Amino acid sequence: MIHHISISAINPLGVAQALAKVMKGQIAPFPPHPGSYFVFPGDEHGTAIEVYPLGSEIAPGAAANEQCMFVHNANSSMFTATHAAISVPVSQAEIEQVGVSEGWRVVRCSRESFFDVIEFWLENRLMIELLTPEMASQYLAFTKTEKLQEVFATAAN
């Protein structure tokens, strides 16, 4: 179970507000890292997304027993391989409405015909796969252990 993820954004508050709309969640400042926000739908899993300013990095503490610390990288890339698939309680039309209002790329895609997702490109630089309730059902059917073993065995041949 993934309970939270962290991402970076050029406009952390704006991204947090858009995510709160599609997640039907709330936003709060994230005190450990000023200028950051915590988005949470208040579900039974403790699901949340921490949105940091672009260039934020998490580094190990200086001493062996120190917790991680935030550092800033002024030369960070605008893109990353990091992404998440997130089930949301809204329709494709509602997702598209939020994306269009922000001027962001929103594209419904089929992942190898196994399940569909909506690529929701935060600030047109960070892709989050949003799954409507119908898409979440497809995804959950695909990710059953037996199905994944079958798919990976076929792919290995």
- Report domain 2-153's class: alpha beta
pLDDT band with cut points at 50, 70 and 90 for residue 98: very high
Parse the chain into domains and list their residue ranges.
Answer: 2-153
CA dist., res. 99 & res. 112, Å (int): 24
Q: What percent of the chain has pLDDT over 90?
A: 87
Whether the Cβ atoms of residue 129 and residue 86 lie closer than 8 Å to each other: yes
Tokens describing residue 99:
């994306």
SS (H, E, C) 44-84: CCCCEEEEEECCEEEECCCCCCCCCEEEECCCCCCCCCCCC
pLDDT digit string, tens, across residues 106-155: 999 999 899 999 999 999 999 999 999 999 999 999 999 999 999 888 88
CA 70 to chain centre: 20
Give the number of residues written for the chain: 157
Does pLDDT of 12 surpass 90?
yes
